Amino acid sequence: MANCITRHIPNALTCMNLFSGCIACVMAFHANFEMAMLFIVIGAVFDFFDGLAARLLHAYSNIGKDLDSLADDVSFGVAPALIVFSLFKEIDYPEYLSSLANWLPYCAFLIAIFSALRLAKFNNDTRQTTSFIGLPVPANALFWASLVAGCYPIASYHPLLTLALVCLFSWLLVSEIPMFSLKFKNLSWKDNKIAFIFVIISAILLITLKIAGFAAVIVWYIILSLFTQKKQ
């Protein structure tokens, strides 16, 4: 009986991630950006614990793997895409772009498409056991949610700037750029120097920039990954 219950715990947590992502989508559609970000973060918490529960309970399954990817694409693909879609709808378009005002918002769904491609690639890439190749989808989702909720004037500055960021981050999702993982094997500074530096600077960014600090942290993560890769 116990085994019958425990083997469903990881999938139940994954479903809570999916549920959180659905709520984030609703909040994003109504341009309630702070609440959308909150439920993306809640989804990320469930996403962390479903994998942890699967490892602790030895409750792995092919269904769980597929369900996890589906939940992740909703919470970290569709939800941020809808945030950007709503942002495009609220941006003041210059006169020379007024004819595109009804069409440009749909470019936001590139985020959902490339997030799905990223997840499919991750599931079949044996190189990503201890680190990442390309930007993880939760990081991309957190960047967009934080940028729009915490720094709206910059996010809504110009539709072409927003489009450029959508294209850039969509490419980062499926790029071949190695990005470090925050999995600590021990507490040694020598073995975890990059991770410790990342955490210290990230804490400063979050304290000083608050909600917008999460977007700054993701940019910092990308820059540090690029720098450390060049050093290797």
Question: What DSSP string runs through 133-153?
Answer: ES--HHHHHHHHHHHHHH-HH
Confidence at 6, pLDDT banded by 50, 70, 90: confident
Torsion angle of the four alpha carbons 140, 149, 73, 89, in this order, in degrees rounded to the nearest 10: -110
Contact residues for 159 (Cβ-Cβ < 8 A; gap 6+): 88, 91, 93, 97, 100, 101, 104
Phi, psi (rounded to 5 degrees) for 132: -120, 150
Q: What's the pLDDT band for 159 if we cut at 50, 70, 90?
A: very high
In the chain, the domains with their CATH numbers are 2-177 (1.20.120.1760)
Q: Is 132 helix (H, G, I), strand (E, B) or coil?
A: strand
Query: What's the pLDDT score for residue 1?
Result: 44
Q: DSSP state, 127?
A: T
224 CB contacts (<8 Å, ≥6 apart)? 180, 194, 197, 198
Instruction: Check residue 194 and give its pLDDT.
Output: 86
**Residues 180-194: tens digit of each pLDDT:** 887 666 667 777 788
pLDDT tens digits for range 91-141: 999 999 999 999 999 999 999 999 999 999 888 877 776 678 999 999 999
Beta-bridge mates of residue 179: 132
CB atoms inside a 10 Å sphere around CB 188: 10
Average pLDDT rounded to a whole number, residues 10-39? 96
pLDDT of the residue at 53: 83
Nearest to 217 by CA among 145, 109, 165, 132: 145
Q: What is the CA radius of gyration of the chain?
A: 18
pLDDT (tens digit, 9 = 90+) per residue, 49-69? 888 887 787 777 778 888 999
* The token pair that represents 169 in the structure block: 């981050």
Q: Return d(Cα 108, Cα 101) in angstroms, integer.
A: 13
pTM, two decimal places: 0.91
By the 10 Å C-beta count (0-12 exposed, 13-18 middle, 19+ buried), 209 is classed as middle
